[in-house]
Structures are given as C-alpha cells and as structure tokens.
A = this chain, B = another copy of it.
C-alpha cells in the first residue's frame, strides 16, 4: 500500500521565517495592508497560523521583518556599484528600477511607509538605511562631478535624485498611463546631468 504523504514539511527556523516573509510580501502586494492577515499569509505560505506567533512573536513583528527584507534588497543594488566608475545611467537605473521597485510592489511600500511613520523602531531603522543609501549615492555623484572638473554638493543631489525617483515611481505605479518608464528615466537623467554640469545647483 502506498506510503502517505507527510502532512507538512519540517523546516529550519530560518527557512520557515523566509517563507512567511515571502508570503507576507505577496499578500501586501495583492491586497495592501488589509490583505495582511494571519489567515491570508498562512494560505499563501501553505502553513498554519500558530507559526506566525511561534517564529515572529506577533503579526506586527512579521511586518518589521518584511520591512528589513525589502529595504535590504534596495541597498544591495547600490552595494554592487563602484563609486569611481559608476555612470549617471547606472545610478538612475538603481533609484528607479532597483530591488522591489516593480510597480506590483506599490501596496507593499504604501503599507511599509504607513507603518514606518508611526513605529519608532522601524522609523529609526529606516533613517539609518536611508542615510546610508544617500551617502553611497553622494559618493558616486561626487566622483562623477570630479571627472568633469566640477564640485557639487553630492548629498544635496542625492536627496534630489532619490526624491524625484520616488515621485516618478509612485505616479506611474498608481496609474501607468500617466507616465511611461522611459520618460521617467529621461527626466532623472536630465536632472543628474544638469547637476553634474553646473546647470542646476542642489
């Protein structure tokens, strides 16, 4: 007689946490923060609701873990960049199309931004990661300006570029017909080039 399939697969703690975080991201992407429920996440992960409390302590703690995963992916793109050889095109690619920046993640970001704005722990972490992101971008921008014999406020241009990219990304994620991807890229490049050539001061 055929052997019975196991009812569930035992995983290591890290594997299980990774699966729950991934399932959470999918639920947020599909339904926003209102789709972030214990039952919906368990259905997506193919597991049971007790696991969330067992591995994370609470649903809120799971959201914090989602944030860490998402933002680490944003930083990874910049980590791979050589500040001395980076091009404006490469920078623009990172700020517009980096980790978790497909428009399907709009509702993940909306949920995280909402939570960061009221959760002191997440806000502190966001501040740290965002500052790191700016500083790395500033280094690359300063190196590019230096190559053109120019001196710029790299930090100011980094803030400018990140904000512009966020705004463009948000607009086209909300309604794709309002702005084409190529157009967004062009606008970012224009601003970076203007900043590097002295046409614009940040």
Q: Which residues of A contact B (CB under 8 A)?
A: 32-34, 106-107, 110-111, 113-114, 116-117, 123, 126-127, 130-131, 156, 159-160, 162-168, 170-171, 173-175, 177-179, 183-184, 187, 190-191, 194, 198-202
Contact = CB atoms under 8 A, between A and B. Distances in A.
B33 A174 contact: no
Main secondary structure of the interface of A (DSSP, over half): helix
Given A110-B114, A190-B202, 5 more contacts: A33-B33, A106-B117, A113-B170, A163-B170, A194-B201
Please tell me how many copies of the chain the complex holds: 2
A11 to B, nearest CB: 30
Contacts of A177: 127
Contacts of A200: 190-191, 194, 199-200
